[in-house]
Amino acid sequence: MINKSINNCLILSIVLLFACCSGVKSQSVKSSDAQTSRPNIIVVMTDDMGYADVGFNGSKDIITPEIDKLANGGTICTSAYVAHSFCGPSRAALLTGRYPHEFGSQFNLPANSEESVGEGIPLSEKFLSSVLQESGYRTGVIGKWHLGAVEGYEPKDRGFDDFYGFLGGGHNYFPEDYVTKYNQQKAAGNKHIWEYLTPLQRNGVEVEEDEYLTDELSDDAVRFVSDSSKNDKPFFLYLAYNAPHTPLEAKEDDMQKFDHIKDKARRTYAAMVYAVDRGVGELVAALKATNQYDNTLIVFLSDNGGRTDQGANNYPLKGVKGDTYEGGFRVPMFFHWPNKIPAGKKFDYPVTALDFYPTFASIANAKIPQDKQLDGKNILNDLVKGENPRKGEMIFAMRHRNGFSDVGVREDEWKATKAYNSPWKLYNINKDMGETTDLSKQNPEQLKSMVLGAQMWSKKHTEPRWFDPESLREIWKEKKMGEFINTFKISN
């Protein structure tokens, strides 16, 4: 290992010093350029955050003042979706602009995938980061990767200039705990150490950490922003927090702020979200200190719905992480870009993380390869005007279970859901966010049209490249799950 080359406390002190010296213009980014140059783009993604676990989406017991300032200063997307209801496929969709089912990545890469799988998201899929990098952006990813942990599939191979974080699907939070366990297992000759304990890395080199993981990632985001201010290039930063994903581990100081929450899991979860909020505040301070704030688009979202058995709250949505009910893949989201995105607005039409690829590429004047397939669309103008970007068009979710598949379809005010091997049901999701009143009998043609749309979409799917858990491989073959034999049948 090597020691971190940057003293985080020093960075934050310098950032705050610049912020206070408002009379001195940054030499790295001219204020006159801020309104004319291509914008910086930041995606802040949390992990397993519930729909109602931020103030701007109605949280009553978790306070998120820094995140809320950005949300209320921008446009909140109340009907925002991701392309899958759990981690890896959702992230793959964001960076490829395609449903992961269409290139065999509809399951999470299993833990320690470098040993069991030996690959990642297919190299035939050009990442958004590569398109932005080729257009002249400085690109960075901080935090959770989960898209390939072997040579050829790592961030540096997928269009990122700078990487700090971990390659697997999760990580423990306190280095005094996980570093000790890692070293003990390594000393004992264990060659198969749980990925949640492995050292973080910076561009392929293991790094010795000394801070709570969320704070560590936030500090590095400040470093990236500060370094980028000295560069003539605009930047793209993908800040992929691990929090509030399990294990539920929070700092004692943060826990004390939520003494009013009696349930320990919820209290710990709240403290983990609060640490993310603190980091977002530090990121904004760094942008302002380096005169980059006004020319930066910030998009915030979760990778999927929350786990209510691990402290999350998806109210008023039905379902949890992994479901095709709204609670599985409808997420908190906002767009913030001063003087470009309307402030103090709510956007109620359906949008999806699949839209990021074409939207960001357009904003960056980046060239998308002619043969690149995309499932989203450029929503910027509609977002600004408050108009529906996909009237009459559908967005989908599908999750494979033990021998059957769940499906969710959204079209305008309608939501069709097939979950847990139950019959298809139809909801007016604008009036019934909790999916409580089935309207399929009253609107049979609407349901039929949406189920047919999902069936046509399924014909684009390919066989999974890996399975998680591995036991599903035999079930997939035995049950002929790829043929969707009963998935699109509507009960009378």
What does residue 52 show for φ and ψ, rounded to 5 degrees? -105, 30
Is the bond leading into 469 cis (omega within 30 degrees of zero)? Answer: yes
3-state secondary structure of 346: strand
Nearest to 283 by CA among 273, 295, 293: 293
The residue behind tokens 């607005």 is: 345
Amino acid found at 473: R
Strand partners, 330: 81
Amino acid found at 264: K
The residue behind tokens 């599985």 is: 328
Options 77, 84, 87, 400, the catalytic residue: 87
SS3 content of the chain, % helix, strand, coil (to 5): 35, 15, 50
Alpha helix ranges (H) inside 263-371: 264-289, 326-329, 356-363
Is the bond leading into 65 cis (omega within 30 degrees of zero)? Answer: no
Give residue 351's region: left, alpha or beta (phi > 0; psi -120 to 50).
beta
Strands of the 201-202 sheet, one edge to the other: 2-3, 205-208, 201-202, 162-166, 138-144, 235-240, 40-46, 296-302, 333-336, 75-77, 345-347
Options 84, 146, 171, 400, the catalytic residue: 146
How many residues appear in the chain? 492
Whole-number Å distance between alpha carbons of 439 and 178: 50
Give how far Cα 395 sits from Cα of 324, 353, 412, Å: 12, 11, 10
Contact 266, 311 (CB under 8 A): yes
Nearest to 358 by CA among 348, 347, 350, 366: 366
Whole-number Å distance between alpha carbons of 311 and 186: 33
Tell me if residue 87 is catalytic.
Answer: yes
Which distant-in-sequence residues (6+ apart) come within 8 Å of 414 by Cβ? 426, 427, 428, 429, 443, 446, 450
- Which residues does the annotation mark as catalytic? 87, 146
